[in-house]
Amino acid sequence: MSATTKTRAEVVAQIFTVFRDRGFEGATLSELSQSTGLGKSSLYHYFPNGKEDMVFAIFTLLGQWMKDNVLEPLHGVGTPKQKLRAMLHAFDELYDGGRNACVLGALVSGGGRMRFQTELKASFEAWIIALRDLAIEAGVPRREAQQRAEDAVVRFEGALILSGGLGDSGPFKRASRQIERDLLAV
């Protein structure tokens, strides 16, 4: 790739932020065009079916991010506690310490809930499974691990909503600490 040519990955990374901040209906082609620096027609070159295709691309990007930042480290070296810390650090960067919303939450809350039901379910489940397996590795019984993983996702999502609503990153930071404390506790 050269300096003047955008890769698809770069384009997807840019539209990702728009859908995250505006939701599906709120993300207009004008803003998507502006944020990517591409004309509307060029966007249709990348995404023939428009916004719907863009969101599918975002789900793919999320899957890749999860693989790189959660699943791979999970199978790497270190204690479960170390791996959890690394994961939490990655989430902290993704959400910018609570200043960014969660694109999954934005799509659930907006009109995309029915449109992307299958993908949303798969994304949440993959997330939960990753956290669950880490808890299992730390010696937590499977059933309990599943519950704790769901709790962690609930806390992330809820804390991002509350941090957004209050304009205060405190709830997110505290949720992150609670997850670190609770997920693997014996």
The footprint of its own copies on residues 69-108 (CB under 8 A) is 101, 104-106, 108
Residue 121 to residue 113: CA distance in whole angstroms: 10
Contact between 174 and 158 under an 8 Å Cβ cutoff? The reply is no
Tell me the closest approach of the beta carbon of residue 180 to its own copies, in angstroms. 15
Which of the listed partners (DNA, its own copies, none) does 120 bind, with a CB threshold of 5 to 8 Å by partner kind?
its own copies
17 binds its own copies (CB under 8 A): no
The footprint of DNA on residues 22-81 (CB under 7 A) is 27-30, 37-42, 44-46, 48-52
The footprint of DNA on this chain (CB under 7 A) covers a number of residues equal to 20
Here the tokens at position 98 are 């609570």
Residue 2 to residue 139: CA distance in whole angstroms: 48
Residue 1, classed as helix, strand or coil, is coil
Residue 27 to residue 94: CA distance in whole angstroms: 20
Which of the listed partners (DNA, its own copies, none) does 42 bind, with a CB threshold of 5 to 8 Å by partner kind?
DNA
Which of the listed partners (DNA, its own copies, none) does 101 bind, with a CB threshold of 5 to 8 Å by partner kind?
its own copies
What letters, b where the CB count within 10 A reaches 16 and e where it falls short, cover 24-37? beebeeeebbebbe
Longest Cα pair distance anywhere in the chain, in angstroms? 55
The smaller minimum CB distance to its own copies, of residues 19 and 47, is found at 19
Which of the listed partners (its own copies, DNA, none) does 78 bind, with a CB threshold of 5 to 8 Å by partner kind?
none
The smaller minimum CB distance to its own copies, of residues 6 and 87, is found at 87
Residue 78 phi, psi dihedral angles, 5° rounding = 115, 165
Find, among 95, 97, 88, the residue nearest to 20 by Cα.
95
Q: List interacting residues with DNA (CB under 7 A).
A: 5-6, 27-30, 37-42, 44-46, 48-52
Q: List interacting residues with its own copies (CB under 8 A).
A: 21-26, 101, 104-106, 108-111, 113, 117, 120-121, 123-125, 147, 150-151, 153-159, 161-162, 164-167, 171, 174-175, 178
